[in-house]
Every structure is written in structure tokens, then in C-alpha cells.
Amino acid sequence: MNDKIISVRNLEKHFDSGKMKALNGVDQDITAGEKVCLIGPSGSGKTTFLRCLNLLEHPTGGHIYFEGQDITDPRCDINKVRQQMGMVFQQFNLFPHLNIMKNITLAPMKLKGMNKTEAEHRAMELLKRVGLAEKANAYPRQLSGGQQQRIAIVRALAMNPKMMLFDEPTSALDPEMVGEVLDVMTQLAQDGMTMVVVTHEMGFARQVADHVIFMDGGYIVEQGRPEAVFENPQQQRTQDFLRKVLK
């Protein structure tokens, strides 16, 4: 399958009244089923690019098309579009006063009109998939960081999205918990989910990505298959970055 799910054209994002240019005319296509990893130094524009894809950041200029629909058009119902784009953040953002089952079923019932039985059945299927079925009645504070992030992934999947966006999903975790989250993401990739991942986990990017994008200064400096970007980078800036992070 090679249908474009996202097309980005001349994307710009400026902060501080235009003094800080986080994105400078970025163009990119993402096809259905593709796994894209964004890498680069802090402040390079990776997270801003990701957050623009579902308008959590509103672009200063340019257009973003989701399945052919211009989501930057003010007439677009962005909340409807966001239901098709699961988002997982650095912080887990679970509701502390709700147990895990209610955290997962709240949005499908409220936004998609699922009945409680259907929503809970789907939630249990997903909890089993990530090895946390026994935590359905627990509260977020009773779970480790790695478990909470796996629940955050499940909560996004419960909406049956067409694609998943991950913003450095392991950066807030203790090192020993990183693997359990990356394992879930790897399985998701193998199942064919379209994924865009901002990550500092170079091993994950090399193993899972179909396409790696290296950003710096709000530009896409280099992109390609992981073996090309990691093993034979063409740009000096990419070479310098990888030399530091792949020590």
C-alpha cells in the first residue's frame, strides 16, 4: 500500500513574533503503513513538526493534508481529524482520578459513541496485547512509568486511529523501563500501523523505521532508509550528529 496519508507543503512555524523560526518551509509525504523516525539535536524542529501534524501547534505558513483534506483550512473540523491520529507524549497524561479501564474507555464512549460493553471489550484486548490486563482496575499512581506509558499507547489505540504520533515516548522513563515501551511500539510497527516517532533511541530508529528524517535548525537536512542515513550519511551535519550519539 503506497497511498499518502499525510502531505506537508512549505510548512513554517515561527515563535516569538517571528524571531524564532522552528520550521522553515518543510515538505514531506508520509504513506499509509510507513514508519517514520525523526532524529536530530534538541531544538531542531522535530517535536514542532510532529505537533503541527495534528495542529497541536498551528503552523505560521504552509499546508498539511490528511488523506487529501487540508487540515490547515479554518473550515476543517480538526477534532474529528484528531480522532484518526493517536498521540503519545513524553509525559503520560493519564487521568489520576480514573482507573486504567476508565482512562482507556472514556474517549471511545464520549467521542465515538461506543457503548460501555464494546469499549471495555476493546480495552481488555489492548491491555492483553501490552501485557497489562491485570491492571485494568488499578490507578495510574500504582503503575511504574513504563506501565503508564504503555497504558497511554493503549488509550490512543482504543480510538482505532489510522496513524500514531509519538513525541519522545521514552524520554521521561528510567532506563530499565525504556525497553518495555519500545517493544510495544515495535509490535505496533510490525502490525502495520502508520507511525511518526520523534526519538533519541537510535537503535529503535535503525531497527523499526522505513524512513529516517534528520532535522536541524528547522530544516530537513537529510532523509532516507535507515541504513543509508546511519551508515552512509551524505551531509556533514548528519555525520557530526551521529558521531556524537552513536559513540
DSSP string, 211-223: EEEEEETTEEEEE
Angle CA 65–206–132, to nearest 5: 80
Structural element, H or E, at residue 224: strand 219-224
What is the rounded average pLDDT for all residues in the chain? 94
Q: Is the pLDDT of residue 143 over 60?
A: yes
**Rounded Cα gap, residues 214 and 229, in angstroms:** 8
So what's the pLDDT on residue 16? 83
Q: Which position has the grid cell 555525520?
A: 239
Of the candidate ranges 15-19, 33-37, 192-196, the one whose mean pLDDT is the lowest: 15-19
Q: Is the pLDDT of residue 1 over 50?
A: no
CB-CB contact of 174 with 145 (8 Å): yes
Mean pLDDT across 89-114: 94
Question: Which residue(s) pair with 37 in the sheet?
Answer: 197, 212
**Rounded Cα gap, residues 165 and 70, in angstroms:** 18
So what's the pLDDT on residue 2? 55
So what's the pLDDT on residue 190? 94
